[in-house]
Structure 1
């Protein structure tokens, strides 16, 4: 029974963060009008969350290793719930941006800790099945968020999109308090320098991607900080991010492929939503419902992944997933001039949903493959860092490439070409993996 409840709160926590992200996306226009925001302030509602999440996620993973999963999980939920409350009652840009930053910190602690909880609780085929569920709920949460966002935007208020998180976080805190084991705090040397420099480096990287005007300056700062971080971790006896995690080619490639694949899909969600509203004139609610084929197929595909991994291994299943994504982007590009939902969006969504469902779980398995219990939080943090930062990079590349496109159909097609290229690079990387993860 304990395992069941742990799985429930882990899946619900991951789902809630996905719901929140998509609800905000559908409500941004109304938030801008209600709070009288300019374009810069509006962009920071998203950037504040991304900066906090992307900058602190590695630290969040390591804190779980040292302070214990239960403490960090409950702290993360508390911060996320408080951020949601402040966002819902915000009357100006300053409080909203602060609230989104607090939400981002909570999510940065929550994501790696929840994945590490699965690694601590399950093993063997049970772990593969749990990760498959974990991988599928992100898509479900995004779909639910799009639909709820549309309902709130059309009938109620965007504020309910934040308020809905509060009872859910309270429920998860109560369950976590009752079912999670209290781990002893490890009185060990903490890599303070590594924690500070890694957080600054990731903050700098995410800011370079989302918001910086002097891009080359911030890119130089990022490279310098990352280089210094590697030097620190190489000489640290108890590093915050053990560089041994990169000694495995499978793990390293899995992180890179995940970043590329998530980047392509993050951009797809944004540009497809804009295409539906601007070209096909869908309402916010219709737009949310328009993504149901993608997320429903993703969910169904993810449920079949444990059996496929058991028979064929993580590498082959991930290759099939990336190939399906590539095919989905090709079909979207070829059909994009038709201005028809069923041909341009729904049909390719079947391929993209299958590709996403087949890719996510095997890449997660490969990213935590053969990791020791002591480093499970750090590995989980790295998986989530690749996910978050990859999404930011992919989306930013698409926005940069389509910047000059004034016709939505052209912009959509250009963005899909970027998504295709990202997945082609990912395919090249994943073909270089060693076969692993097959279980008899």
Structure 2
């Protein structure tokens, strides 16, 4: 791969893997984190949500910053911010400090994520770009699942803190490689839409709080709606919008954003709740719970690496439909069968289907999310791909936690959560069939 793609793609994929790994590495250590810092379910969800909110809320602004100040420069700055945030998480000693640290870490990720996809768009064209985007999409899933496995091993063998502290030297190494191997990008003229960035963060944060917050939910939802309405009105009028609304004019891109939003909402809550279910209902240790995700990680890696070739042969949308369908079947199994029926039937079998399903879903969704983009909107489209990924994850997790928070039995809670996740995956499938598939048929 290095001979064909050079060093840019390995640097990009390693960085993207690192930030996504950190988004899920906390999951298998949730029980130990909760016990050590005395966190309840809502506070624990905010440890993940704080990261996702700053990550997703600032993505568009940071993508624009890369255009204005140079993607290489912004990318290296993001690595150091991410490293500092990881250090702060690793030394946190209370619910407040870990939530604030995770939010700061999310800022670093918001700088890195749009730069990674934009660097691919800059460095490669044609078939090489398609394959590179395919590998990027595969990394989106593999990074998340690897975080679950590594998180379980690190939390059990050492401490959950080391899962974050290890990011510091890795980020520094990547920064050194970036200085040497990533070429300087062209710096665009213009300015950042600061008001749009502020409104997007307010809208995202209040939306999630309206779901998971303990009071003021209606007010929070109203603030979110007003923020988004004002954002749309502003973006329609200014000359250099943070979010060019014309990127949503393409049905394939719009459908991909919606499908990714709800699909990641389901997957994120699955990754969050399944390790807890294995520890609380099956009495698995943190280590065993982490390694129990291997039946998902191997199929996802294999299918994700092959998804670009399969899409080229059979069509991107057909592979996407197969992927979401497999995911839906997999997540329906624990909805109807109690987890006490055993790991192999209720967890491992669904994981195999979900592994193949996610591997055949995330790469095609990434390709569809940047389809038919002209140079002036390519950066914005890339930013929206990452934004829907992160905010969909946060909203989905918040929704599931809010609906199931009153259920005391871990077994029943898990079944109800999987039912909600199944509905979300079904919505993603419907969007692909009704919005994206008709467009792909016309192109064929």
Is TM > 0.5 for Structure 1 vs Structure 2? yes
Match in the other structure for 2:268: 266
> Which shows bigger deviation, 185-194 or 337-346?
185-194
- Once the two structures are superposed, the pairs formed by residues 244-259 of structure 1 within 5 Å of their partners are 244-259=246-261
> Which residue of structure 2 lines up, in the alignment, with residue 55 of structure 1?
57
1:114–1:421 CA distance, 2 compared to 1 (3 A): same
Counterparts of 2:116 and 2:24 in 1: how far apart (Å)? 20
Does structure 1 retain, via aligned residues, the 8 Å contact 2:45–2:398?
no
**Deviation digits for residues 208-252 of structure 1 (CA, Å, limit 9, x no counterpart):** 344462111111111111111111111111111100100001111
Structure 1 residue runs without a partner (length 5+): none
SS at match of 1:213: coil
Aligned to 1:22: 24
Partner of 2:100: 98
Aligned equivalent of 1:65, options 64, 67, 72: 67
2:149 to 131, 147, 150: 147
Question: How far did 1:188 drift?
Answer: 1.6
Closer, same or farther in 2 for the Cα pair 1:236/1:331, shift >3 Å? same
Shift of 1:32: 4.3
What's the TM-score, normalizing by structure 1?
Answer: 0.93
Task: Determine whether 1:365 maps to 2:367.
Answer: yes
Going from structure 1 to structure 2, the CA distance change for 1:207 and 1:372 (only over 3 Å counts) comes to farther
Greater shift after overlay, 304-313 or 93-102? 93-102
Which stretch shows the higher mean deviation, 155-164 or 243-252? 155-164
> Unmatched 5+ residue regions in structure 2?
none
Contact residue 330 and residue 351 of structure 2 kept, 8 A: yes
Deviation of residue 117 (structure 1)? 1.2
TM-score after normalising by structure 2: 0.92
The equivalent of 2:322 in structure 1 is 320
Superposed displacement of residue 197, structure 1: 2.2
Distance 2:64 2:107 in 1: 14
Deviation at 1:50, TM superposition (A): 2.4
Assess, with a 3 A threshold, how the Cα gap between structure 1 residues 233 and 169 changes in structure 2: closer, same or farther: same
Number of equivalences:
440
Counterparts of 1:138 and 1:437 in 2: how far apart (Å)?
27
More deviation in 310-319 or 40-49?
Answer: 40-49
Residue 25 of structure 1 aligns to a residue in which SS? coil
Tell me the equivalent position of 1:419: 421
Which whole-Å deviations, capped at 9, do the CAs of 1:276-296 have from their partners, x for residues lacking one?
111111100100011111121
Give secondary structure in 2 for the equivalent of 1:182.
coil
RMSD of equivalent CA atoms: 2.3
Alpha-carbon separation, structure 2, partners of 1:354 and 1:261:
14
For 1:36 and 1:412, locate their aligned partners in 2 and report how far apart those are by CA, in whole Å: 22
Query: 2: distance between equivalents of 1:170 and 1:283?
Result: 32
User: Is 1:308–1:317's contact at 8 Å kept on the other side of the alignment?
Assistant: yes
Change over 3 Å in CA distance of 1:108–1:23 after alignment to 2: same
8 Å CA contact retained: 2:68, 2:191? no
Residue matched to 2:233: 231
- Give the Å deviation of 1:86: 2.1
State which drifts further: 247-256 or 175-184: 175-184
Q: Matched residues in 2 for 1:421 and 1:38: separation?
A: 26
Structure 1 residues 293, 391: closer, same or farther in 2, change over 3 A?
same
Deviation of 1:22 (Å): 2.5
Change (3 A) 1:286 1:438: farther
Equivalent pair of 1:212/1:218 in contact (CA under 8 Å)? no
> In the alignment, what sits opposite 2:84?
82
**Equivalent of 1:45, from 35, 44, 47?**
47
- Residue 75 and residue 395 in structure 1: after superposition, are their counterparts in 2 closer, same or farther (change >3 A)? same
* Contact kept? 2:307, 2:360, Cα under 8 Å: yes
Q: What is the Cα deviation at residue 438 of structure 1? A: 11
